[in-house]
Structure 1
Amino acid sequence: MAETTLREFLSTDALLLATVLLVGVAGSGVARWSLGQLGFTTLGELVYIAGYGGMVVVVWYGWIRPLDITGPE
């Protein structure tokens, strides 16, 4: 098994995936909290659902869907 250096890791899709996950979870959570503090609780919940759901769709479309997951023939 080949080892991956930090430079190779940062130049691959792994950095983009980590960014998408961070923004999808933490970014939408911070936006939800901020809107809740301003009194817009329902809007904050909708923003969180849209952000988290959008992150799930992007991860599925960009990384999971292209995988060839077939069993033995």
Structure 2
Amino acid sequence: MAEDDPDTESSTGQLFTLTRVKLLLIVILLVGIAGSGIVRRYLGELGYTVLGELVFVLGYGGMVFTLWYGWLRPMDISGPD
């Protein structure tokens, strides 16, 4: 990783600085968990319970897939040779 990359965390206390990558992660988590949950509740109140459940499952599952595909899949988690 380059020192010029604003998304890398170094020992200079950049752990809590807000970068575009961290902001994107926060938005994906909020939409995937809270957003799909709120839509599910409103659809349930309107009588569309099955549609609400489908929206929640697709929203939450989509969030999990997006986080896996964007952040976890590219990581090299292999042990020593």
Normalized against structure 1, the TM-score is what? 0.89
What's 2:58 paired with? 50
Between structures 1 and 2, the one with greater helix share: 1
What's 2:13 paired with? 3
The superposition leaves residues 23-60 of structure 1 with CA deviations (integer Å, 9 ceiling, x where unpaired) of: 00000000000000000000000000000000001000
Deviation at 1:5, TM superposition (A): 6.7
- Whether 2:26 is the aligned partner of 1:18: answer yes
What's 1:29 paired with? 37
Residues paired across the two proteins, number: 71
What's 1:71 paired with? 79
Deviation at 1:15, TM superposition (A): 1.1
Counterpart secondary structure, 2:14: coil
Normalized against structure 2, the TM-score is what? 0.81
Which runs of 5 or more residues in structure 1 are unaligned?
none
Structure 1 or 2, whichever has the larger Rg, is: 2
Q: RMSD over aligned Cα, in angstroms?
A: 1.4
Structure 1 counterpart of 2:24, one-letter code: L
Structure 2 counterpart of 1:66, one-letter code: P
Percent identity between matched residues is: 55
Rounded Cα–Cα distance in structure 2 between residues aligned with 1:27 and 1:69? 31
Which runs of 5 or more residues in structure 2 are unaligned?
1-10
